[in-house]
Structure 1
Amino acid sequence: MKTTPPKTDPPPRRRPRRGSIIERRKACRKALKTLDPVLKKKLGEIHSLDVEASRLLHEADAQFQQLCENWRTLASALAEKERQEIKQLYNRALALSNKKVKLADEMYQAVDQVVVKLDIERDGLRDALDKLIVERRESLAAFEDSEPRRRRRNTQTRKAGEDGGNADSFEPFDTSKLMPDIPIDPNEPTYCHCKQVSYGKMVMCDNDKCPIEWFHFKCVGLTASPKGTWYCSHCAEEGDNSKKRKDVE
Structure 2
Amino acid sequence: MRLDSPHGSALSPADALCPGRLRCARHRCRLHGGGITRHAQHRRHQSGKSSVKYKAAVRDRGYRLISVYSFNEELLEKRWPRHADGDDVSLYARDADGVLEQLEPYRADVRAVLSANDSSVGLADHLAHALGLPGNCVELAYARNHKNAMRQVAERAGLRIPRYRSVTSIEDIPAAAREVGFPAIAKHTSGGGSYGATLLADEGVLTGLHRLETFDHFREPVRAWLWNSTSVAGRSR
- Tell me the TM-score normalised to structure 2 length: 0.22
> Which has the greater radius of gyration?
1
From the two aligned structures, give the one with the greater helix fraction: 1
- Tell me the TM-score normalised to structure 1 length: 0.21
From the two aligned structures, give the one with the greater strand fraction: 2
Q: Which has the higher contact order (CA 8 A, sep 6+)?
A: 1
